A and B are shown apart, each in its own frame.
Chain A
Amino acid sequence: MRIVLALLIGMVFGLGIAIAGMANPAKVLNFFDVAGSWDPSLLVVMISALVTTAIGYRLVFGRLEQPVLDKTFNLPVSRAIDARLIGGSALFGIGWGVTGFCPGGAIPALGLGYTETFLFVGAMMLGIVAARALQTSILKVQSV
């Protein structure tokens, strides 16, 4: 049941990304190109997703003691605003600005079948593996 519902929720997510146009790197990049071919769509997507999630989370946490299919809510516990958070985020922004793909846009875009997306996602997975290896072996911290 967990697995089937995760598939359906994933489909809602992928549908949202596709309808929003966020599986299209050109459209994403144009949001960031204020000095050029600006397309504000991403801002509308973010606001709409944020408002929906904020209201929905409030209902979920207000009414449920635990998630329907699990024992506890699995929420991030770290509160540190440190060099990892800042440096990692700044780096992510550079990669996003170079490619127009973020993880949430790229995975659903695989369904469109373009070679470029597979290359990006493969490279992204390599980056994830490298970061985790570095964090666990050298910095001795647990990755999330």
Chain B
Amino acid sequence: MTTEFTPLAAALGGLLIGLASVLLMALHGRIAGMTGIVGGIVPPLAPDWPWRASFLAGSVLAPFLMLAGGIDIPFDVPVSTTALIVGGVIVGFGATVGSGCTSGHGVCGIARLSPRSIVATLIFMASTFATVYVVRHVLGGI
């Protein structure tokens, strides 16, 4: 299944993601790493869970309001439900053990020139490229 290259929307979206990361640091003194933020609202609950829950609620609310306002947001899951669930557990487990994901290591960490984040990002990007190649071109989809 193909999707169209959307450079302008991608640049604007990236700018907003970056802006949110900067604001969270300036106001709350926190890294906008999604895995870490979600980690604080699942058991054992972090003592500072309220701002985390609030940030997460806001991030869910924005696309919801866009849809409600009649803006079309393309969405397609090209994998099976089983793969989605197994992959979900792996994402949560791996990102927690690796101390971060795309937002935490890939954006906030590299922006701070953290060697850990640069290494982590190179590894998970390489691992994702390899996985997608195997899934699509060796296994023919899952």
Contacts and interface: CB of A to CB of B under 8 A. Distances in A.
Interface of A: 2-27, 29-30, 32-37, 39-42, 44-54, 56-57, 59-60, 64, 66-76, 78-81, 84-105, 107-114, 116, 119-132, 135, 143-144
A59 B97 CA distance: 31
Contacts of A33: 132-133, 136
Nearest to A108: B59
A9 B93 contact: no
A91 B98 contact: yes
Given A11-B61, A18-B63, A120 B127 contact: no
B38 A99 contact: no
Secondary structure type dominating chain B contacts: helix
A120 B87 contact: yes
Most B Cβ at <10 Å: residue of A5, A72, A95, A108: A95
Chain A CB count within 10 A is highest, among B17, B107, B110, B120, for: B17
Given A14-B59, A25-B77, A131-B96, A101 B91 contact: yes
Contact of A76 (B99, B101, B128): B99
A33 to B, nearest CB: 5
A76 B83 CA distance: 32
Interface of B: 1-7, 9-32, 34-36, 38-39, 42-44, 50-52, 54-67, 73-79, 81, 83-99, 101-103, 105-112, 114-116, 119-121, 123-133, 135-137, 142
B88 A9 contact: no
A98 B18 contact: no
B3 A30 contact: yes
Given A56-B111, A96-B128, A132-B44, 11 more contacts: A7-B55, A12-B23, A20-B13, A26-B77, A36-B137, A41-B6, A95-B87, A102-B95, A124-B38, A131-B92, A144-B99
